[in-house]
Amino acid sequence: MRRVVILSEAKNPLHSALRVNSGRHPLVISQPPGGILPPIHCIGVRMTSEEPALSRAKGLSMTNGGFQSGDQSATLLAAGVSVLISLASLFAGPGRTGSKPAAAARRPESLPAFNGGRAFEDLKRLVAFGPRPPGSKALGESRAWIQSQLKAAGCSVEEDSFTASTPVGEVPMTNIIAKAAGAKPGIIMLAGHYDTLRRADIRFVGANDGGSSAAMLLEFARLYCLRKNPLNIWLVFFDGEEALVNWTATDSLYGSRHLAAKLASDGEIARIQGMILLDMVADKHLNIYKDTNSTTWLTDLIFKTAAKVGYGKEFLDEKSAYGDDHQPFVDDGVAAVDLLGNVGPPTASSSFGAYWHTAEDTVDKCSASSLTVVGRVVVATVAELELASAGRPRPH
């Protein structure tokens, strides 16, 4: 991925300056020096340590594996449900960018329980395959293992294979699509890349950058593939996210550009009601910013949901902009959001973190608890999208 611009609302000016100073990839500042930045709307409340209590007061409580309702008084629960449904009505619109929000229905009693510990085991297993650049034997082996896990979880698994023309020649690539059936035609797409950066000079294993997104998707498979879903849930593992030489519009995002074009050509892309992309979400000290290249209403829904469930500390009310696998879908009119974290602490040489695209992107820098944070926020957001869809007529 590439960070292309910072619209900073950072509380610490130094931190902001460091983030502007991008790493390996060229940085484009969209505003001229002295130019006026577009207004930044502050949405939601920065959460504090008291917020989990607030979440409980709204009828949700965190349990070992997820959230359950009903541990507070009926009055509080009713008030909470009302607030949550209002939120869904406000922000959970149909998937096409800019479309109108729909009415929400009854909130489910409990959410599927995302297990960050299990996802962390998957992350370690993926790293054990070694460096996994596109076209490599190790990526093929990891793909076979991913597919075996998906099938064990009860998913229907498809391959989207193609040959990419790259600066290093023709490279075979394969996206993996796991499909969890839904009652309605609409699709919620959860996605991430499973390839790792091609580096001849270092041993790059991509525990966080490539490993975390694939591991998260495997855990989602266990939650959704055997569940009775209101909407279809597609889990998409993109190949070829990373540049093979240097990041450009044509040397990057191979898998997502291919799949978006394919779905657009057969019309299926119109069924996608929301796409949530995950990338680098396992750092022990996780920070996720609001990506300004993502769809605003879905970004707002996710960050409000994060605050509600007590993870405002990780989902920051600060803005940045990313070029990542969501972009081809945004360009085709899909409501899509990139949840992109960090790989180590920010430094002057790398705004994505000290270990980003280095041999230090290893398992010891990652944590199960960060995977849990992101997993629970995504699960809660999926529930909001499902609720919103319940109030919408079936597409023709």
- Contacts with Zn ion by CB under 5 A lie at 209
CB of 170 to Zn ion, least distance (A): 22
Helix 211-224 and helix 368-390, axial crossing angle in degrees, nearest 10: 50
CB of 196 to Zn ion, least distance (A): 8
Q: Comparing C-alpha atoms, which of 233, 203, 232, 237 is closest to residue 217?
A: 237
The CB-nearest residue to Zn ion is: 209
CA distances from 157 to 177, 231, 234 (A): 6, 17, 10
Q: Pick the closer one to Zn ion by CB: 115 or 252.
A: 252
Phi-psi region of 26 (alpha: psi -120 to 50; beta: other; left: phi over 0): beta
The b-or-e profile of 89-121 (16+ CB within 10 A means b, else e) is bebbbbbbbeeebbebbebeeebbbbbbebbbe
Q: Pick the closer one to Zn ion by CB: 358 or 381.
A: 358
Q: Pick the closer one to Zn ion by CB: 107 or 193.
A: 193
CB of 371 to Zn ion, least distance (A): 18
Q: Pick the closer one to Zn ion by CB: 311 or 322.
A: 322
CB of 209 to Zn ion, least distance (A): 4
Backbone angles phi, psi at 142, to 5 degrees: -65, -35
Helix 368-390 and helix 116-127, axial crossing angle in degrees, nearest 10: 120
CB of 380 to Zn ion, least distance (A): 27
CB of 191 to Zn ion, least distance (A): 15
Q: Pick the closer one to Zn ion by CB: 63 or 246.
A: 246
CB of 118 to Zn ion, least distance (A): 24
Half-sphere exposure of 304 (CA within 13 A, CB side): 19
Rounded CA Rg of the chain: 20
Q: Pick the closer one to Zn ion by CB: 3 or 271.
A: 3
Q: Pick the closer one to Zn ion by CB: 94 or 211.
A: 211
The b-or-e profile of 356-379 (16+ CB within 10 A means b, else e) is bbbebbbbebbbbebbbbbbbbbb
